[in-house]
Each structure stands twice: as C-alpha cells, then as structure tokens.
Amino acid sequence: MNDLATHSVYTYLSSSSSEIPKILLDLGRPTKRGIKKCPKCGMYNGTRGMICKNKHCDAVFKDYADKRKVSLDAVRLTGIVRQVYSVRVRDRGPDHRGFVQLPLLPSHGNEEDKNVLSENALCFVDSCQRLFDDSILKCHELEQNNTSLLCAHIDSAIKSQNMATPIEFKKEILSSLKVSEEIKTKLWLLVTEKEGPLVQRVSRTVMAVKCQVSPKHPLGYLHFTFGCTKGKEVYDKYYCSCTEFMVSGIISKSSNVRFKCIHYYACICALASDSKCSEEFVHFINYELPARE
C-alpha cells in the first residue's frame, strides 16, 4: 500500500471511526515498500517500472537495461574471420542459444546480398528444420524452393548488428588455477591454437567458448550458461552444451571434479581475468582460485 492510499484510509478512519471494522484499525505506519526513487530526478516509481514515469526524465533503470541485453536475438562472435553468430532459440527458453554461420561477402546492404546470405547460410540449431546436416542433403534437390530455406535463426543473424564481448584471458590466472597440469595445458592449447578469444560473452548469462571441432560442434564453439538458484542473487549453477546433463554449481568441497569440463575452467580463467566479471561471478572464482589481495 503506498503513502497516498494509506493517508486516505487514515482520513476515512478519523471521520467515521465508529463505523470501521476493527480489522482496519491497526494498519501500521505507511512504508515505501514496492516503490523506488529514480536516481536521476528523485521521483518515486514502482519497483517493476522500466523507465522513470517523469515525462521530463529519460532515465532507464539498470534492471531493465540488463533485461534488454539478455533479449538480444543474435550476436556476432568477434576475433574470427568467419561470420559466426550466437542466436537465441525462442521456443527453448530465454537462455537457450545456437549458432548460425553466414557467408562472407565483399559488400553489404543490397537485396542481392541478402538473397546470397540467406541461400548460403548454415544453421546449427538442433531443433531447426534448416539444420546444417539437412541443408547438405537438400542442396541436391534441384526444384527446392529457395524461400523455404530461410529460418528464423538465419533471418535474425542477417538483421543483427550486435557484437559479442570478448573477455581477456590472463596467463597468470591460469597458472594459479587449482587444477592438474594436464588441464592447464589443454586450456592453453585452446587459447593459442585457434583464432579468436577463448571466451566471449553473448548475453548476461551465456558465454561462447572455443572447443575442439566435432560433429556436435562443427564451428569450434559451444555455449556455456550460468544461472541462479531461485531466491538467490548470485550465480551458483551452470550448464555446458558439451554435456547432456545440468550440473549443480552450488560449489562446495564435496563437488565432484568429474562434472567440471574444460570449458568450465576456461570460463573461470577468463572471468577472473576481468575485474568487473570477477565481481559478478565471485561465487565460482573464490572456489577455483586462491584468495587474491
């Protein structure tokens, strides 16, 4: 109940207290629960508000800005020659993503280029009818209707102007990681043997991580997702698309190391190398790395 509503009730009580049920006589003092002050103009807004209701104030609240960042449908990976996009798979949940590869063209923007892109693009989303394997088989069908080849994921990539955020990888962080030398060597090979950053952030909770090329991951990238247990505000669980199971990330000494893949450690090293990310993912980093001054 806001201040205005509470004041109205008290006014009504004072004017006709003899007619008010006893249950309304102990409403308590008015509070500011459910409202928050705009940091720019000072006006009070509802906690679920996305922008300030003051017409002369253009403030966009941080929570809403983060949600808009999450909703990016397609994000192009950086640091590689190929046009590889991480695309959101809408029918599989807010954090489920796949990959699309577009052909490289000398020019962009005209209708002819868009037709070439759509006809030669490759979709790697498992649930899509335009899946890469199917595209190879169908390319021999001479009478195939080209317009039917364009799926929502390719269309999203063609329209996208968004770029992924590469996360710097510091070798000294790798040296201090509490894992075997074998894992450290594999991580360093991933960093050095192929182009592009080891880890790129494609949404608030999802990272694109370099991996070994395989039939399941033909582009040499996979998605690694962090999440929060309901009711908590810190990241404490994760899922890697290299595995077939969801792994609890509630880190404890009893955590089984066999559930931690090489891509998990890649994310830990990259996130710990960035000052802002290390604060955001402190729950994981504190367990996997020794305390830093």
pLDDT tens for the chain, residues 1 to 293: 455 555 554 555 455 445 556 666 666 677 777 888 888 888 888 887 778 888 788 677 755 444 444 446 899 999 999 999 999 987 777 778 999 999 887 655 556 566 777 788 899 998 786 666 555 444 444 444 444 457 888 989 988 899 999 998 999 999 999 888 999 999 999 998 878 999 999 998 999 999 989 888 999 999 999 988 777 767 778 889 886 554 545 555 445 555 788 999 999 999 999 989 988 888 888 888 876 65
Q: Exposure string (b/e) for 136-163, b if CB count within 10 Å is 16 or more? A: eeeeeeeeeeeeebbbbbbbbbbebeee
pLDDT of residue 3: 53
Domain ranges, ordered by start, for the chain: 1-31, 75-159, 164-288
Q: Is 57 exposed, middle or buried (0-12, 13-18, 19+ CB in 10 A)?
A: middle
- State the Cα–Cα distance between residues 220 and 212, nearest whole angstrom: 6
Among left, alpha and beta (phi > 0; psi -120 to 50; other), residue 182 is alpha
Contact between 8 and 15 under an 8 Å Cβ cutoff? The reply is: no
Quick one: DSSP state of residue 229? Answer: -
pTM metric for this prediction: 0.68
Instruction: Compute and round to an integer the Cα radius of gyration of the chain.
Output: 25
pLDDT of residue 137: 44
Q: What residues contact residue 12 under an 8 Å CB cut-off, 6+ apart?
A: 20
Crossing angle between the packed helical segments 262-273 and 181-193, to the nearest 10 degrees? 70
pLDDT of residue 147: 45
pLDDT of residue 123: 92
